[in-house]
Structures are given as C-alpha cells and as structure tokens.
Amino acid sequence: MTSERKNSSKNIVLIGFMGSGKSSVAKELHNQSSKNVIELDDEIVKLKKMSISDIFARYGEACFRETETSVLSLLHTQKNIVLSCGGGTILKKENVLLMRQIGRIFYLTASPEIILDRVRENNSRPILNGNMNLEYIQDLLKSRQKAYLSAADVIISTDNKTVPEICREILQNI
C-alpha cells in the first residue's frame, strides 16, 4: 500500500451497480461517521448544468464518462468523505486509479432481482431506459462484474441487510 493510499484510507468510495444501495448507504454513513457525502452524479449535474439523462441524450455516454473522470480528478485531495459513484464509473481504468487515490473502495453487491425491484419505478437511469427487465440487468451486471471485482478493496452484499448493518460492516473495514 502506498503512502498516498494510506493518507486517504479514511475516505470511503462506494461502487456497485445501480440500485445496489450506494446512495442510501452513503447517507447513513454520514449519520454514523459525520463524513461528508459526495454523490458523483450530483457533481456531474452541477458541472454540466443538466440532468444525467440530458447529458446522455445530448452528448452521449462517452462525454458523461469523461466528465466523471474530470470530477474524480478534482476529489483526490478531499478528506473525511464518502464518495458514492455511478454504476458505470468503474468502466474506465483511469477512474479506478483516481478512486484508489481518494479512498478505500467498497463494492456493494445486490442480486439482479433486488436491483430490478429497487430501480423499477426510477426513470432517471438512462442505461435502463427501455430495458427495465431482469434479463437486461443480469447481462449488464455480468458484463461489468470483472471491473467491479478488480476495483474493489472490500466486497459487501446488500441483499437481506439493513442500511445500518451495511454501514457497520463498512466502518469495520475502513
């Protein structure tokens, strides 16, 4: 572990598929640890002054991913934070390297069935627009699995656990 990594080890970086619980866990981690929460997607919205769906529609996924990288590069000096990343942030190796500079990476997992149940009513996920079904989620999750696993320092299943239970498990593994 590099000294740079040790210096940021108290920061928590949450990765995982959409609907895995990253945002809910980040909020509860703030309550349990007083860490500041940074939602990567919210930072992108502020920077671009448009919704994620609009960014995807107008500029495409590649532009969105570049913006993720730009925002991540600005966060490596932040201290005492929980960074909740978008589901596809791990798709760029550069993003993973930046996340490692920011803090310890926790991969929150959930079964495809639970993910579908959690995101079913949410229309703000451009990757799922027109594809809100179990088969699509299974395929997309499978295609990203290797990237999630290689990025993760700690893997935590969120299935059948409460948010406070997940947070306690994260805080025990910082």
Amino acid at residue number 50: M
Query: How far separated are the first and last CA of the chain, in Å rounded?
Result: 14
Handedness of CA 96, 99, 104, 109 (dihedral sign): negative
Residues contacting residue 58 through CB under 8 Å, at least 6 positions apart: 50
Instruction: List the binding residues for substrate.
Output: 41, 65, 87, 144
Amino acid at residue number 95: N
> Into how many domains does the chain fold?
1
Which CATH number does the domain housing residue 127 bear? 3.40.50.300
Name which of 54-68, 72-86, 121-135, 158-172 the model is least confident about. Answer: 121-135
Confidence check: pLDDT of 2 > 70? no
Percentage of residues in the chain having pLDDT higher than 70:
89
Instruction: List the binding residues for Mg(2+).
Output: 23
CA distances from 88 to 33, 72, 80, 165 (A): 26, 13, 24, 25
Between CA 172 and CA 155 the distance in angstroms is 13
Residue 125's pLDDT band (cuts 50, 70, 90): low
Instruction: List the binding residues.
Output: 19-24, 41, 65, 87, 125, 144
CB atoms within 10 A of CB 1: 7
Between CA 63 and CA 79 the distance in angstroms is 27
pLDDT single digits (tens) 70-107: 999 999 889 999 999 999 999 999 999 999 999 999 99
Secondary element (H or E) of residue 57: helix 52-59
Instruction: List the binding residues for ATP.
Output: 19-24, 125
19: domain range? 3-172
Give pTM, 2 decimals: 0.90
Residue 169 has a pLDDT of 96
Q: In sequence order, what E strands does the chain have?
A: 12-15, 36-39, 81-84, 104-109, 154-157
Handedness of CA 35, 40, 44, 50 (dihedral sign): negative
Secondary element (H or E) of residue 26: helix 22-33
pLDDT single digits (tens) 30-46: 999 989 999 999 999 99
* Order of strands, sheet of 154-157, starting from the edge strand that comes earlier in the sequence: 36-39, 81-84, 12-15, 104-109, 154-157
